[in-house]
Amino acid sequence: MEDIWETRTAEQPVNPTSEKLGFKARLAKLEEQAKYGKMKQETQEVEKDFKLPFKWKRTLNKSQGKSARDMVLVLYLNIKGDIEPPKLIPLYSGNVVIYKNKAYDFDPRAIWTLKVGKKMYKVLLIREMDRRPVSNLDWDEVKARGDSTDSDEILVKMVTKAVVDKIKKPMNKNAIIIIVILVILAIGAFFVFGK
């Protein structure tokens, strides 16, 4: 009998996380897998990561070479609301970028990091209508205007909690009345039959 038990337990793989989780946690995990497992699988099959066009990748890779030492990689946001393909543009006198016959200021603190896969590229974001690049340098001005999103987190949590609390159904009045009557009957039975 012991031989059969040893072979059965030896065949079954041990899940290290199952020992750490309690019964309720394992039950909740199984319920979640049953409920959302199929939806997650369908989403993973349908969703694909954004892939940059080949021309963009080629320009991004050129920006990391030694020949691009006095150049900056620029993403240009035009008036139509389009992002133009990245361009390697030379720096003039160390702090001016000229693109489409328009001069833009260059500030090394306004460089953004673009992560594509495992590679990271340094990019300057320029809007067509603004001489200064898009950056976080005007953070104090934004905070002074009251447009900062720092306090939004608390507000969003409060609103979502209020919505969830509103969705919860209050207890039925009939159920409360029945519970009160049962408690009164139990107390009465205790006094009558308890002596």
Q: How far apart are CA 180 and CA 172, in angstroms?
A: 13
Confidence of residue 3 (pLDDT cuts 50, 70, 90): low
Q: Which residues contact 149 (CB under 8 A, 6 or more apart)?
A: none
pLDDT, residue 50, reads 66
pLDDT, residue 81, reads 85
Nearest Cα residue to 86 out of 60, 119, 52, 106: 60
Nearest Cα residue to 125 out of 160, 175, 74, 170: 74
pLDDT, residue 193, reads 79
Counting DSSP H helices and E strands in the chain, the numbers are 7, 6
Locate the domains of the chain by residue range.
6-46, 54-127, 151-195
pLDDT digits 0-9 by tens, 18-70? 456 688 888 888 888 887 877 777 777 766 666 777 777 777 777 776 666 77
pLDDT digits 0-9 by tens, 154-166? 777 777 777 666 6
Rounded to the nearest integer, the mean pLDDT of the chain is 75
Whether the CB-CB separation of 98 and 87 falls below 8 Å is answered with: no
Q: Which residue has the higher pLDDT, 4 or 184?
A: 184
pLDDT digits 0-9 by tens, 77-107? 888 888 888 888 888 887 888 888 888 888 8
pLDDT, residue 68, reads 63
Q: Which residue has the higher pLDDT, 110 or 66?
A: 110
Exposed e or buried b per residue across 91-100, where buried means at least 16 C-beta atoms within 10 angstroms of its C-beta: eeeeeebeee
Q: Which residues contact 75 (CB under 8 A, 6 or more apart)?
A: 83, 84, 86, 114, 123, 124, 125, 126
